[in-house]
């Protein structure tokens, strides 16, 4: 029914809203830096988008694993470290690419490195979030 669909989707949307607010708060902390290095504003949506993609990929894998009974307490730790490893490796590859582009854009090696490090950290944290959120919701009996 309509009500059931809304009830099942709303918790996920609220979680996304909370994470977006947290991301905005972090961006706000660097408002002065962004004002001095305007190119950061150009790259922020790329970093955020890639983190969102990485988190969604992990979330999809974990929700599928939970639904099919493939994820349980025997393999929960192994799966967590596997997903974090995937986030670290894919984040590093994407970071190399974005670092090169950042350097070419600004002609500043530090800028390229900062964007690359931000990308890796963002993708790893997003991967962890994509893992933890469905596990916590499952524990709270929220589908």
The pLDDT of residue 100 is: 97
Helices (H), strands (E): how many in the chain?
A: 5, 0
Mean pLDDT of 74-101: 95
Over 80: is that where the pLDDT of 28 sits? no
List the domain boundaries for the chain.
Answer: 2-139
As a whole number of angstroms, the distance between CA 91 and CA 133 comes to 20
CATH 1.10.357.20 fits 2-139, yes or no: yes
How far is the CA of 95 from the CAs of 113, 124, 130, in angstroms?
9, 11, 19
The pLDDT of residue 117 is: 92
Q: Phi first, then psi: what are they for 64, rounded to 5°? A: -60, -45
Q: What is the CA radius of gyration of the chain?
A: 17
């Amino acid at each position: 029914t309509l009500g059931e669909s809304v009830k099942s989707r709303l918790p996920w949307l609220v979680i996304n809203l909370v994470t977006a607010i947290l991301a905005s708060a972090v961006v706000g902390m660097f408002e002065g830096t962004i004002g001095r290095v305007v190119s950061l504003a150009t790259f922020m949506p790329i970093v955020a988008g890639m983190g969102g993609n990485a988190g969604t990929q992990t979330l999809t894998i974990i929700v599928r694993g939970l639904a099919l009974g493939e994820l349980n307490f025997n393999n929960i730790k192994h799966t967590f470290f596997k997903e974090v490893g995937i986030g670290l490796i894919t984040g590093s590859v994407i970071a190399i690419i974005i670092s090169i582009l950042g350097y070419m854009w600004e002609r500043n090696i530090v800028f390229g490195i900062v964007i690359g490090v931000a990308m890796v950290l963002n993708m790893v944290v997003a991967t962890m979030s994509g893992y933890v959120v469905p596990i916590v919701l499952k524990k709270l009996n929220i589908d």
